[in-house]
Structure 1
């Protein structure tokens, strides 16, 4: 049995617990929140008796094996490092850190303490994404990757009313690139590796974060065109273009369907049935790694997380998107 604690009490944490409870060796043992009231309220939903409002006390507990972090982005690095220094395995929500300096420190801490650190980018573990990787050779030489992740945030309505929630607050290292753009970038890195160059454009909000934007990643003989948003909605599918056809992906941030469209007009459905709560697959990977005494995922690896973080950082520098966490780390 792997005894989990969760850091954060929002909807994504609820989804994590729901998915985790489908796995035989998953046990929710403790809840952390900065306020006792929230911790108690959340823990009560899951009949959990142990709560923490002091992260160092959670880190010191010998009743916890692993921690899922779903706090605001700017807290990820400090919380993960504190937990790993006390021997806890950490599954950290995407983006794993505010910048590359934080991620370097997190990876170093994981290695020094012989614990597992993994970024919770769920889509790269989906059976249908695995099917895309298996079948990508069928479309011939790849020439373009196009990905769109544009979803209107319900919190934007509050923003327009003058209420700036965490989602649109630069203090928390937030915005469209960090929240939605990463869903396009990480799969590109997993499939094609590190690009030669990064070009970026962003539409800024008055709060100091980006509401939407676009990226152009240049590779040796292909490019990746990416668009993302939290202030507009799009149903445009994502595609991988090859010289013999293209792979059409319904939603890159929540993949449910994938098809190969060949040049002769034939279509091959390469979709694989998936769990309704698709966080199941990343949790399963994380738990299997712990049980097999492996300290790094080959899918959501340190290299993939670092290249993704580097792309995001280059894009932010180009458009002038700076967070307080950058200044703290001398970036």
Structure 2
């Protein structure tokens, strides 16, 4: 059994812990929060008594094998580095770090210490994304694709009211692309690989982060449009268009349904029914990487491609984080 700790006590931490326990390979043994009371409140729901408000103390605990990091984006890199250097395996919530320099640095540390580093990007590990990949040849020559994730943020009204919630604050390495644009971008990279060329556009808020935007990924013979927004809702599925037919993917972050439509034929449902908590797949992948001592794995390659694209895209639209200046 892999004993893991969690950093952060928000809803995504609960989702990961619940998913981890369903694998029967991972067991939550410690919780960190900025305050002990918050850590204890979270921990008691999992019968865990080992709580911390000091990260260095938790990293020194020999009874912790791995850590799941779900803190604000700007803290991911420094926290991951601390635990990697202590020989702990790390699953860092997406995005793994603020920019490509931080990502490369973390990978170097992980490989040097023979520990697993994994970006906790659920889309990458979904069965329905794999089914989509296997279906591509049946669509004929691919000509276009559009992957979209647009979701009105529950915190946007606070921003409009004059507050600066983390999700709209560049100090926390946030914004539309980093928060939700990474999902459709991940799907595109997993299905088609590294593009030959990337262009980006977006609309900035006064705080300095992007409210919404798009990426155009150019491949040989076709291009992929990636759309994202935190200030509007998108209601259409993502699609891949080939000369013989098209593939529709509902809710690209979870790939809830996959439908193939070959020209002249009736629509065909291909996707399986995935569990409501789709983090189960990433949790299992993390555990298996640790069990197999697979420190260099395909997820790291994809994470670097995606981080490099997002770093370049932010330069194009003018989003700058503190981590960019230090890099």
Q: TM-score, normalised by structure 1?
A: 0.97
Instruction: Give secondary structure in 1 for the equivalent of 2:293.
Output: coil
Distance 1:296 1:56 in 2: 26
**Kept in 2: contact 1:166–1:174 (CA 8 A):** yes
Deviation at 1:37, TM superposition (A): 2.2
Deviation at 1:297, TM superposition (A): 3.5
Instruction: Give secondary structure in 1 for the equivalent of 2:63.
Output: coil
Instruction: Give secondary structure in 2 for the equivalent of 1:194.
Output: coil
Give 1:283's aligned residue.
Answer: 283
Q: Which moved more, 1:40-49 or 1:203-212?
A: 40-49
**Kept in 1: contact 2:25–2:284 (CA 8 A):** no
Deviation at 1:278, TM superposition (A): 0.6
Deviation at 1:266, TM superposition (A): 2.3
The answer for unaligned runs of 5 or more in structure 2 is: none
Which string of whole-angstrom CA distances, capped at 9 and with x for unpartnered residues, describes residues 263-310 of structure 1? 114212111121221100000111011112222443xx2111011011
Give 2:116's aligned residue.
Answer: 116
Give 2:308's aligned residue.
Answer: 310
Give 1:326's aligned residue.
Answer: 324
Give 2:5's aligned residue.
Answer: 5
Instruction: Give secondary structure in 2 for the equivalent of 1:40.
Output: helix
**Kept in 1: contact 2:126–2:254 (CA 8 A):** no
Q: What root-mean-square deviation, in Å, do the aligned CA atoms of Structure 1 and Structure 2 show? A: 1.0
Q: Which moved more, 1:173-182 or 1:262-271?
A: 262-271
Deviating runs (4+, > 4 A) in structure 1?
none
Say yes or no: does 1:274 pair with 2:274: yes
**Kept in 1: contact 2:115–2:293 (CA 8 A):** no
Give 1:153's aligned residue.
Answer: 153
Give 1:246's aligned residue.
Answer: 246
Instruction: Give secondary structure in 2 for the equivalent of 1:22.
Output: helix
Distance 1:280 1:297 in 2: 19
The answer for unaligned runs of 5 or more in structure 1 is: none
Question: How many residue pairs are counted as aligned between the two chains?
Answer: 327
Instruction: Give secondary structure in 2 for the equivalent of 1:101.
Output: helix
Deviation at 1:18, TM superposition (A): 1.3
Distance 1:321 1:148 in 2: 20
**Kept in 2: contact 1:118–1:296 (CA 8 A):** no
Give 2:72's aligned residue.
Answer: 72
Give 1:237's aligned residue.
Answer: 237
Say yes or no: does 1:260 pair with 2:260: yes
Give 1:218's aligned residue.
Answer: 218
Deviation at 1:92, TM superposition (A): 0.6
Instruction: Give secondary structure in 2 for the equivalent of 1:321.
Output: coil
Which string of whole-angstrom CA distances, capped at 9 and with x for unpartnered residues, describes residues 120-161 of structure 1? 110121111111111111101111121110011101111111
Which string of whole-angstrom CA distances, capped at 9 and with x for unpartnered residues, describes residues 45-71 of structure 1? 222100111111111111101100001
Give 2:207's aligned residue.
Answer: 207
Distance 1:143 1:309 in 2: 25
Give 1:143's aligned residue.
Answer: 143
Which string of whole-angstrom CA distances, capped at 9 and with x for unpartnered residues, describes residues 185-204 of structure 1? 11111111111211111111
Distance 2:304 2:26 in 1: 28
**Kept in 2: contact 1:171–1:323 (CA 8 A):** yes
Deviation at 1:254, TM superposition (A): 2.0
**Kept in 1: contact 2:8–2:69 (CA 8 A):** yes
